[in-house]
Structure formats: C-alpha cells, structure tokens
Copies of this chain bind each other. A is one copy, B any other.
C-alpha cells in the first residue's frame, strides 16, 4: 500500500483501507525518463496522472515555433489535459517529464467505473478540481496585474526549491518573460 498516497487522499476524504485498495487497483505506475512524453500533440488524452516523484510540464508549441508552458506539476499533484480528456478532442498540449519522473496513471474509463464502485471518489475529485481551479484563477490574476518582475519574485518566494530544479528557459516560458529578462532579474537583489 502506498502510504504517501493514502495520507494524501485522507487529507480530503475519509477512505477505508479496503476502499483505498480498490482505488489503488485502478492505478498503474509509469516511470518516465527526462523528456519522455506522456501525451503527444494530436493524441486524445485518456488519463489523469498523479506525480509521486519528479516533475511534469504541460506545454504547446506556438505559431512561431516557441514552447509555451501552461503548467508544471510536481509531487502530490494531478496533471492532465482536461479539455482533451473530457471533451475527447485531440490535444495540442504536450505532457512531458522535465526530469526523471514517476506517475500513477488513472485512465478515465477506469475512473468512471471507480465512481460507480466508490461514489465518494466523486467528492475527492470534486475537491481536487476546486483546488486546481483556484490555482489557475490566481495565475490569471497574476498575468493581468503584475509586471514580469513581480511575477518572478512572487513565484520564487512561493516556490523556492522548485525554481532550483527546472531549467531557466522553462521557468521564463511559464512566467511569460524572456530568458534574458529572467537572467537579469535573478541578478537583481
């Protein structure tokens, strides 16, 4: 039994050991090498991924050929392309391992079956969606209201360890600033 995952779920819902075993039986462990892709552009996303170690990024290639990062995901975070997953449309977003990463894969068809077996998982994923939404709402507000410098300083204050882990050009893409400007900001006290 994965104690870390059990504790994580019990933060949000009451779940018995036997229910957790049923839930766990729907998960597959995937080990990804750095740069390995979980979701390719053009494919329909079929699963949600819970990150147990490492880091994923969700990004797309814009019309000018530049990578634009939408989200990062680290330990104890769910990542997927919800639009592709739930509307069953081809994804133009790519999910890729930033570093060596381990995820638990939960296929959407399995999840629908799981909801029938253990209805309280509806509650769990309802809460996860609310938290994910709040993070995204805050992000939009940052994008509107802050300068590149303020976004950078806010982000490193909130995620000091994470900033050390990822390549600087990825961080710049996520923050919507150029790598050169990021480099300048890092040198500014």
Contacts and interface: CB of A to CB of B under 8 A. Distances in A.
Nearest to A125: B126
A123 B122 CA distance: 5
Given A87-B134, A144-B176, 17 more contacts: A60-B141, A60-B145, A63-B145, A70-B140, A70-B144, A83-B137, A83-B138, A119-B120, A119-B123, A122-B122, A123-B126, A129-B130, A132-B133, A133-B133, A139-B140, A140-B143, A143-B143
Contacts of A86: 130-131, 134
A157 to B, nearest CB: 18
Which 7 A-B pairs give the minimum distances between C-beta atoms?
A: A126-B126, A129-B129, A122-B122, A122-B123, A83-B134, A133-B133, A136-B136
Interface in A83-142: 83, 86-87, 115, 119-120, 122-123, 125-126, 129-134, 136-141
Q: Number of copies of this chain in the oligomer?
A: 2
A135 to B, nearest CB: 9
A102 to B, nearest CB: 25
Interface residues of A, number: 32
Contacts of A178: none
Given A119-B122, A125-B126, A137 B82 contact: yes
23 contacts: A60-B141, A62-B145, A63-B145, A68-B145, A70-B137, A70-B140, A70-B144, A82-B130, A82-B133, A82-B137, A83-B137, A87-B134, A115-B123, A119-B120, A119-B122, A120-B122, A122-B123, A122-B126, A132-B133, A136-B136, A140-B140, A143-B143, A144-B176
